[in-house]
Amino acid sequence: MQNPDIIIIGGGLGGLTAGARLAKAGRKVLLFEQHSVPGGCATTFRRQGFLVEAGLHELDGLDATDLKTTIFRELDVFDKIQFVRLPEFYRVVTSTTDLVVPDDSAAAIEVFVKAFPAEEKGIRTFFKTIHALRDEVDRLPLNRNIMKLLYPVFPMLFPKLALHNQRTLGEFIDGIITDEELKLALVANYPYYHDDPYTLSLLYFSLAQSSYYRGGGHFIKGGSQRLSNHLADFIVEHGGEVMLNSKVTRIVVENGRAVGVAVRRRQDAEEAVFRAGTIVANAAVPLVVEMLPEPERGLLARRVAGMKPGIAWLSAYIGFRRDISSLNNRAYSTFFMGDGQASLKERALSNRSGFDQRGFAFVDYSRIDSGLGAEGKSFGVITTVDYIEDWEGLDEEAYRRKKDEVARMLVRRLEEFMPGISREIEYLELGTARTVRRFTGNPGGVATGYANVPGQSGTGRLGHRSPVPGLYFASAWAAPGGGFTGAILGGWMSAGEILSTKSGDMT
Ligand SMILES: Cc1cc2nc3c(=O)[nH]c(=O)nc-3n(C[C@H](O)[C@H](O)[C@H](O)COP(=O)(O)OP(=O)(O)OC[C@H]3O[C@@H](n4cnc5c(N)ncnc54)[C@H](O)[C@@H]3O)c2cc1C
């Protein structure tokens, strides 16, 4: 492409959404993706006849109040992609509790109150608070200048935000609930956001959780690669270009302003330089630091110094030789807590223990019309929190051996809850933090960007405008945060900020 207006580094959901919005607005978009397919974490791959979903378990919302609904309409997503509504929010199994939690607040309250009648007040406070936080965030003005004018009266207009903005989920739950079993059940899915409820931002948790209770959970029929492919096609249909197998090695800065990128394509020996008025980084922010020359490198490094990265996940991908819905599993997504996880604090600590102790979830795609798996067969995933340190320092052979051992151990643990399941396995493969790092470049295999902790969430989150003029962020590492929703909203908002810039970024 000659003279693009915008160059995007990375074709994950953040980069693709930003590119799609900018292309639709008439900007000439040129996107570089190092991998051979677009999507980053939002991808699928084929193994032994199975279509393996690399990441997506569930996507929240898609109701009338969800910004993604507007975004997907604007980008023709609903015309091309089918979203399958999940039958319930989740099932939680602890040593004494086994509950299926509906994805509707009133019905979920009923389930929790029936199981824990003495805690009704706390249960109601929980739901009231997460929804109130979401409502207040929805009312926040997007314009930063208007926001600044509101500062003196902020606590009056946004009382829940003023009260809870800096609190952790653990602190909040401890203040309203005493029964540890109930705490475990009420926030069973928190490892989808962070590894420790006592450092997880209550605000971030509430936004996501409230969205699930309003619009439910969804899967993309045929796998998340379909959404990624659609967004890449949309960019091309609107005059843009998506170049795969193309790794950006440097950001070119002139007179303090980002003006281009150097790219190494897989088939070319030489780097080529491409220039544009605006550069959007979807690649992880720590990688962007390395791409900049001095003094801009130091400028960005200082801006993100001390920020903590979020978490990675481990996935044991399982192809079943038949449809396992006959095994009477009661839910699509089940969180299991073993012995030694009798309290929320112990549950958090278990994440740092061995894979034989760590709390885990099983996602059973046979419960829905997922479009994965071969004819008459089905697909599932065991997932836990993962840390790159568990996989560092191993040569390829030792790494492969450890992956096999951990995969088999997790299946044995699942077998305790679902007798007979291991006999149905035809394909088993482990994806680790190291896998995610290898395919997406994310440091530590972290798929959520900077950790969703107070100070790094909400107004404390890294914005879309970098300290280097002409360089923007659109990824899980910047606002509003990680997950499919965070990356999609981040890409959309970043593009919005670029489109509203009057300072001549496009020139
Ligand atoms: C196992 C797993 C399960 C998950 N489950 C869920 C779930 O159920 N629900 C949910 O909402 N979220 C889930 N997520 C999280 C979600 O997928 C991510 O937070 C989100 O997709 C991140 O999108 P992104 O655009 O920020 O970045 P990424 O997906 O990381 O994409 C970044 C892209 O940039 C490219 N890139 C990097 N460096 C360069 C370079 N130098 N040049 C060119 N290209 C480059 C990479 O190749 C990659 O394609 C899961 C993630 C994983 C890994």
DSSP per-residue codes, 104-123: SHHHHHHHHHHH-GGGHHHH
- Ligand 1 neighbourhood includes 264 CB (under 6 angstroms): no
Report how far residue 383's alpha carbon sits from residue 432's, in angstroms, rounded to the nearest whole number: 10
Atom in ligand 1 nearest the alpha carbon of residue 313: 1
Res 40 pLDDT > 50: yes
- Ligand 1 neighbourhood includes 11 CB (under 6 angstroms): yes
Report how far residue 110's alpha carbon sits from residue 91's, in angstroms, rounded to the nearest whole number: 15
Q: Are strands 360-364 and 333-336 parallel, antiparallel or unpaired?
A: antiparallel
Query: What is the b/e burial string over 460-470, where b = at least 16 CB atoms within 10 angstroms of the residue's CB?
Result: bbbebbbebbb
Report how far residue 51's alpha carbon sits from residue 44's, in angstroms, rounded to the nearest whole number: 7
Supply the residue whose CA is at minimum distance from atom 15 of ligand 1.
483
pLDDT tens across 416-426, in order?
Answer: 999 999 999 99
Helix/strand/coil for 180: helix
CA of 223 to the centre of ligand 1 (A): 15
pLDDT at 430: 98
Label residue 506 by pLDDT band (50, 70, 90).
very low
> Which one of 211, 274, 280, 282 would you pick to mutate in the ligand 1 pocket, going by the greatest count of ligand atoms within 8 A of its CB?
282
Atom in ligand 1 nearest the alpha carbon of residue 436: 53
> Which one of 31, 440, 471, 485 would you pick to mutate in the ligand 1 pocket, going by the greatest count of ligand atoms within 8 A of its CB?
440
List the CATH code of the domain at 6-56+223-308+445-499: 3.50.50.60
pLDDT at 434: 98
Supply the residue whose CA is at minimum distance from atom 48 of ligand 1.
40
In the chain, ranges of CATH 3.90.660 domains: 84-221+312-386+392-431
pLDDT at 502: 62
Task: Give the mean model confidence (pLDDT) for residues 161-181.
Answer: 95
- Ligand 1 neighbourhood includes 191 CB (under 6 angstroms): no
β-partners of residue 306 are none
Res 364 pLDDT > 80: yes
> Which one of 8, 41, 89 would you pick to mutate in the ligand 1 pocket, going by the greatest count of ligand atoms within 8 A of its CB?
41
Atom in ligand 1 nearest the alpha carbon of residue 58: 8
Element (H, E) at 14: helix 13-24
Report how far residue 270's alpha carbon sits from residue 298's, in angstroms, rounded to the nearest whole number: 27
Res 110 pLDDT > 60: yes
Supply the residue whose CA is at minimum distance from atom 4 of ligand 1.
55
Hey, what CATH topology would domain 84-221+312-386+392-431 get? Polyamine Oxidase; Chain A, domain 2 (3.90.660)
Report how far residue 220's alpha carbon sits from residue 53's, in angstroms, rounded to the nearest whole number: 10
Atom in ligand 1 nearest the alpha carbon of residue 314: 1
Task: Give the mean model confidence (pLDDT) for residues 252-278.
Answer: 94
**CA distances to 191, 385, 405 from 382, in Å:** 13, 11, 14
Do residues 343 and 184 lie in contact, with contact meaning Cβ atoms separated by under 8 Å?
A: yes
Helix/strand/coil for 290: helix
Helix/strand/coil for 283: coil
- Ligand 1 neighbourhood includes 58 CB (under 6 angstroms): yes
Label residue 507 by pLDDT band (50, 70, 90).
very low
CA of 428 to the centre of ligand 1 (A): 22
Helix/strand/coil for 481: coil
Calculate the average pLDDT of the chain: 94
CA of 132 to the centre of ligand 1 (A): 29
Supply the residue whose CA is at minimum distance from atom 32 of ligand 1.
12
Res 451 pLDDT > 50: yes
CA of 10 to the centre of ligand 1 (A): 10
Res 318 pLDDT > 80: yes
> Which one of 246, 484, 494 would you pick to mutate in the ligand 1 pocket, going by the greatest count of ligand atoms within 8 A of its CB?
484
- The pTM for the full model equals 0.97
pLDDT tens across 57-74, in order?
Answer: 999 999 999 999 999 999
pLDDT tens across 467-476, in order?
Answer: 999 999 999 9
In the chain, ranges of CATH 3.50.50.60 domains: 6-56+223-308+445-499
Atom in ligand 1 nearest the alpha carbon of residue 484: 11
List, as one string, the DSSP characters of 416-448.
HHSTTGGGGEEEEEEE-HHHHHHHH--GGG-SS
Residues in contact with 285: Cβ distance below 8 Å, sequence separation at least 6, in sequence order: 300, 304, 449, 450, 462, 473, 475, 477, 478
- Ligand 1 neighbourhood includes 33 CB (under 6 angstroms): yes
pLDDT at 504: 44
pLDDT at 375: 80
CB atoms inside a 10 Å sphere around CB 118: 10
Res 293 pLDDT > 60: yes
- Ligand 1 neighbourhood includes 34 CB (under 6 angstroms): yes
